[in-house]
Amino acid sequence: MARLPEDDMRRRQRRRRKVRALRQRLAQTTNPQQRQRIIAKIKKIAPTAPVPDK
């Protein structure tokens, strides 16, 4: 069964919302271990998305 364009659009929108939420959490986090964990999640969801260093 072929994928519908609406499904692809929802999947991409969900990914963007998730990455945006993770970046907000990353901005608020000061613990280095938590920062590394959040950065790993961002890279897993969107490998090509830029991740802020600090």
- The angle subtended at Cα 51 by Cα 45 and Cα 54, nearest 5°, is 140
Give the single-character DSSP code of 49.
S
The pLDDT, as a whole number, for residue 1 is: 57
The pLDDT, as a whole number, for residue 2 is: 66
The pLDDT, as a whole number, for residue 3 is: 74
pLDDT digits (tens, 9 = 90+) for 15-53: 999 999 999 999 999 999 999 999 999 999 999 988 877
19: left (phi over 0), alpha (psi -120 to 50) or beta: alpha
Is the pTM above the cut of 0.95?
no
Domain ranges of the chain: 5-45
Integer CA distances (angstroms), 41 to 2, 4, 32, 48, in order = 29, 27, 14, 12
